[in-house]
Amino acid sequence: MESTGSPQLNGGQLDGEKEAGNKLEEIKAMAIPMIRRLTGTVSIMKPWKEFFTFTRPRSSGEMSQRISKNLFYYQGNYGVCAVVLLLLWVLTTPSALFLCLLLVASWVAFLNKNSDPNWNPQIGGVPLNRTQRMLAMTVVSGALVLVLAGGLIVTVLCLSGILAVAHATFNSGAGKFEELAEEDLPLNAFKMKIRRQKSHRKVMRFYQTAFGFQEPYRALIDGTFIDAALKSKVHIKEQLPKLLGGRTTPVVTECVYQELRDLGADFSGSAIIARGYYRLKCGHTKGECSAADCITKQLASNNPKQYLVCTQDKALRERVRRVPGAGLIILHGGQVPIIEQPSEASMRVAAKQENEKQAVQSWEKSKLPILRQEEAKAEAMAGDARETSKKKRRGPRAPNPLSCKKRKVQAPAGEEDNTQEQTTTTKQKRTRSRRRRQGGGDDKQEAPSAATADAAES
């Protein structure tokens, strides 16, 4: 594996080199995660006699309750049934059987070729390392399966889902639902998971803001954490990026790896897992210091390399909590990885840094006398301007002439009579109208005007 090119880390370097090992150990390291998952699925299986006990639900509410609880309660049994259906489909379908044999033969040949150090394939002139070749082979295999058997696989999965829902509807659970704690129910477990994720994001934002943590995060792991994760079937490389919300580099020191090897056959699985992590060359000779002391020395001077320590050792936890800026990851209950809340030492340092940011800086203090002089001068000029300025005189207040109605001009008495007579005369004028001819005669009769009629009446 290629070097990460990281700087010197307290006398060591994060070079990511692995010791050369035989193929048997490599196969063990690859098979351990799959074996853990398989044994984990088998361990949560319920008795098959109970699994095949059916009763009819009395109401729709009971039916929905059965579905939500049975899908969680019998998840191991459902997984085994899905695998059995898939195997039956492979054995009864010649094309699927041929595809499986082809993939197995291709992977065997690829693994043999991939272990050859002289094999350096290139894509577009860019050489591929071992990890990239493995990833490319996985992508090609997945694409081949989807193209040749994607429809049948989807059909089998859909059929398995339909059968699981039907079984969950008509299985009473044999009265075992009382064994499930509230936090074990699917909805409550989902809510707790959401709360944990929010808490983890908040803690990581604190370390990013206060101590400058950034990706890829460095998780310094000791032997107790690796052993507990192996027993609890927790895949560290998969869970740490999900836990921290970003790319993470698992790191072990030479002292930690040597300690696991010295513990014998009981910890051989943990030693194989630690062998796959990046190795920190701490510079300590064998037996010079314990693994806990080695990890503590890597955190010297307030954790300058921004390590997140993963440990189950209570004494080492207390040491880590006393170091400002050192994150701590544990397995809660030995099963669930969580990030501890920042320690008191980290909170004190973060509060001190925040107060220093809000305090007056030295360059600001040097500018204070000049600013005060400028403020005093501005106040004096403003006072002089107020004294010299004259008040604007206001005239007599009156209504707005544009919004007032004009006054009427009163005429003399004589003129009023003449005006009245003229108005009367004007009112007596009428328009002159003519009658139309009646019966087509030639005689024309003019209608008397209104003025003539009025004169006759008078």
Q: What is the pLDDT of residues 58-86, one digit of tens each?
A: 888 888 888 878 887 888 888 888 888 88
Do residues 201 and 332 both lie within one domain? yes
* pLDDT score, position 147: 86
Do residues 162 and 264 both lie within one domain? no
User: Of 421 and 168, which is predicted with more confidence?
Assistant: 168
**pLDDT band with cut points at 50, 70 and 90 for residue 436:** low
Do residues 161 and 261 both lie within one domain? no
Do residues 90 and 216 both lie within one domain? no
* pLDDT score, position 15: 43
Q: Measure the CA–CA gap between 39 and 36, rounded to whole angstroms.
A: 5
Do residues 137 and 201 both lie within one domain? no
Q: What token pair was written down for 413?
A: 């008495």
Do residues 204 and 310 both lie within one domain? yes
Tally of domains in the chain: 2
In a domain, 52, yes or no: yes
**pLDDT band with cut points at 50, 70 and 90 for residue 9:** very low
In a domain, 186, yes or no: no
Do residues 250 and 338 both lie within one domain? yes
In a domain, 345, yes or no: yes
Residue 348 in this model has a pLDDT that exceeds 70: yes
Could you read off the pLDDT of 86-106 as tens digits, one per residue? Answer: 888 888 888 888 888 888 888
Average pLDDT, the chain: 79
In a domain, 231, yes or no: yes
* pLDDT score, position 296: 94
Could you read off the pLDDT of 22-55 as tens digits, one per residue? Answer: 555 656 566 666 666 666 656 667 788 888 888 8
- Name the E strands within 272-392: 278-280, 307-310, 327-332, 336-339
* pLDDT score, position 1: 37
In a domain, 347, yes or no: yes
Q: Measure the CA–CA gap between 447 and 445, rounded to whole angstroms.
A: 6
Could you read off the pLDDT of 225-268 as tens digits, one per residue? Answer: 999 999 988 999 999 999 999 999 999 999 999 999 999 888 99
Do residues 199 and 312 both lie within one domain? yes
> Residue 441 is which amino acid?
G
Q: What token pair was written down for 324?
A: 């400002």
Do residues 340 and 267 both lie within one domain? yes
pTM over 0.75: no
Picking from 142, 175, 208, the residue at the C-terminal end of a domain is: 175
**pLDDT band with cut points at 50, 70 and 90 for residue 108:** confident
Question: Domain range spanning residue 66?
Answer: 47-175
Do residues 97 and 215 both lie within one domain? no
> Residue 286 is which amino acid?
K
Do residues 52 and 102 both lie within one domain? yes
Q: What token pair was written down for 456?
A: 């006759």
pLDDT (average), residues 279-286: 89
**pLDDT band with cut points at 50, 70 and 90 for residue 189:** low
What percent of the chain has a predicted confidence (pLDDT) above 70? 73
CATH of the domain at 203: 3.40.50.1010
Alpha-carbon dihedral sign for residues 92, 95, 96, 99: positive
In a domain, 259, yes or no: yes
Q: Measure the CA–CA gap between 160 and 85, rounded to whole angstroms.
A: 8
- Please, are residues 329 and 248 in contact by the beta-carbon 8 Å criterion? no
Least Cα distance to 310 among 207, 239, 223 occurs for 223
- Please, are residues 50 and 144 in contact by the beta-carbon 8 Å criterion? no
Q: Measure the CA–CA gap between 437 and 108, rounded to whole angstroms.
A: 126
Do residues 216 and 342 both lie within one domain? yes
Picking from 175, 206, 228, the residue at the C-terminal end of a domain is: 175
Task: Give the three-state DSSP class for 217.
Answer: strand
In a domain, 423, yes or no: no
Q: Measure the CA–CA gap between 428 and 144, rounded to whole angstroms.
A: 112
* pLDDT score, position 355: 87
In a domain, 166, yes or no: yes
* pLDDT score, position 11: 38
What percent of the chain has a predicted confidence (pLDDT) above 90? 29
